[in-house]
């Protein structure tokens, strides 16, 4: 998980490793291959998929049409029907609402759909930019529970969050925490150590 305050560089970093921004001074290496200058569509096919923050769905399309777009951009040679059924197992509410247009879903359901659309592309690494933003605690809990299950299937997850509280609430599913401030990573380690870091205490606890 990547934690950092407003403007720290979280979104920029996630876009950079998923092909949205081409780095000038560094390289993005995936399984030994330099993918820094590949178009986003190629990076997705290699298994790196970003779920952006905010509104990420096509509001006029139905839930299932949105998911089919996710299936379409993913790797070839995987059973699309099977993926869809796995996604509906993970988010039963999306199955119930599969013929409803995405624009009329609740905020939490829209976030689930955006995550599900990312999963439809069968990522090896799923990137999520501030997935808890603007959601009620119960919805955040259900989304983080889905991350737990996604992780169990062997998919790696990189999450960015602005605050530290979500990380603390779900600390048992977080293997590694990175703290970013002023476009620089200043910490990498376990969440328990992060809590006592001076930068972090200043930013989040005012001490």
Binding site for Mg ion (CB under 5 A): 10-11
Piece of 8-16, 70-78, 82-90, 147-155 that binds ligand ATP (CB under 6 A): 8-16
Is 11 a binding residue for ligand ATP by CB under 6 A? The answer is yes
**Residues touching ligand ATP, count (CB under 6 A):** 10
In sequence order, what are the beta bridge partners of 62? 101
In sequence order, what are the beta bridge partners of 157? 126
Among 1, 8, 105, 143, binds ligand ATP (CB under 6 A): 8
Q: How far apart are CA 113 and CA 88, in angstroms?
A: 10
Is 196 a binding residue for ligand ATP by CB under 6 A? The answer is no
- From the list Mg ion, ligand ATP, none, pick the one residue 12 interacts with, judged by a Cβ distance below 5 to 8 Å according to partner type: ligand ATP
Piece of 7-15, 75-83, 142-150, 163-171 that binds ligand ATP (CB under 6 A): 7-15
Q: How far apart are CA 189 and CA 178, in angstroms?
A: 7
At residue 135, the 3 state secondary structure works out as coil
H helix or E strand, kind and range, residue 69? helix 63-73
**Spatial CB neighbours of 5, under 8 Å, sequence gap ≥ 6:** 162, 181, 203
Q: At closest approach, how far in Å is the CB of 114 from ligand ATP?
A: 16
156-161 vs 2-3, strand pairing mode: parallel
Is 118 a binding residue for ligand ATP by CB under 6 A? The answer is no
Residues 154-193 as x/- pattern, contact with ligand ATP by CB under 6 A: --------x--------------------x----------
29-30 vs 33-34, strand pairing mode: antiparallel
Cα dihedral sign, 153-159-161-165: positive
* Positions that interact with ligand ATP (CB under 6 A): 4, 6-12, 162, 183
């Amino acid at each position: 998980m990547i934690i950092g305050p407003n403007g720290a560089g979280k979104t920029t970093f996630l876009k950079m490793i998923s092909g949205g921004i081409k780095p000038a001074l560094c390289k993005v290496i995936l399984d030994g291959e330099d993918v820094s200058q590949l178009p986003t569509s190629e990076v997705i096919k290699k298994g790196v998929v970003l779920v952006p923050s905010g509104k990420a769905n096509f509001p006029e399309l139905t839930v299932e049409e949105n998911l089919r777009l996710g299936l379409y951009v993913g790797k070839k040679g995987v059973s699309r029907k099977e993926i869809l059924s796995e996604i509906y197992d993970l988010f039963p509410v999306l199955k119930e609402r599969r013929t409803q247009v995405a624009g009329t879903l609740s905020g939490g359901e829209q976030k689930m759909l955006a995550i599900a659309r990312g999963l439809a592309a069968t990522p090896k690494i799923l990137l999520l930019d501030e997935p808890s933003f603007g959601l009620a605690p119960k919805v955040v809990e259900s989304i983080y529970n889905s991350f737990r299950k996604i992780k169990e299937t062997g998919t790696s997850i990189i999450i960015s969050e602005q605050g530290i509280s979500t990380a603390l609430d779900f600390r048992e599913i977080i293997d590694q925490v990175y703290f970013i401030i002023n476009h620089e990573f200043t910490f990498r380690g376990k969440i328990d150590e992060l809590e006592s870091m001076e930068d972090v205490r200043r930013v989040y606890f005012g001490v």
